[in-house]
Amino acid sequence: MKKEQKKEKELMNECKRCLLYEMADRDLYTRIRRTIEAIPASMRCEEEAYQARLASCKTCEKLISGMCRVCGCYVEVRAAKREEHCPLPGEKLW
C-alpha cells in the first residue's frame, strides 16, 4: 500500500471524540482493558469519577480515536489512574 493510501486509510479510521470502547478495533480495546485491570486497586480511580473523566474527554476536541492529542495517552487508561489529570494546558477538564 502506498504511503498516501495508508495515511488516507488511517484518517478514515479516526473518530473524533470517540473512546476506544466505541471503536471497531476490539483487539486494541481488549489490550487496553487488560492494562486498566492491571492497575492496582489502590491506584485506580473510583468508577463514578472515572466515568465523569471520560465524559469530559468526550466533549474535548483533543480526543481522537480514544487518544488524547495533548499527551498521546489512551484516555481510558490515563483516566483510570487516580493521580492522573487532564493535561490540557491552562484549562484541565478533569
| Rounded (10°) CA dihedral 21, 42, 46, 59 | -50
Q: Which three cell numbers stand for residue 53?
A: 473523566
Segment interacting with ligand SF4, rule: CB under 6 A, options 7-15, 21-29, 31-39, 60-68: 60-68
Nearest to 57 by CA among 41, 35, 73: 73
| Cβ contact 14:64 at 8 Å | yes
Q: Which of 20, 32, 45, 63 is close enough to bind ligand SF4 by CB under 6 A?
A: 63
User: For the window 15-54, what string marks contact with ligand SF4 as x by the rule CB under 6 A?
Assistant: ----------------------------------------
Contact residues toward ligand SF4 (CB under 6 A) are: 56-57, 60, 62-63, 68, 70, 75, 86-88, 93
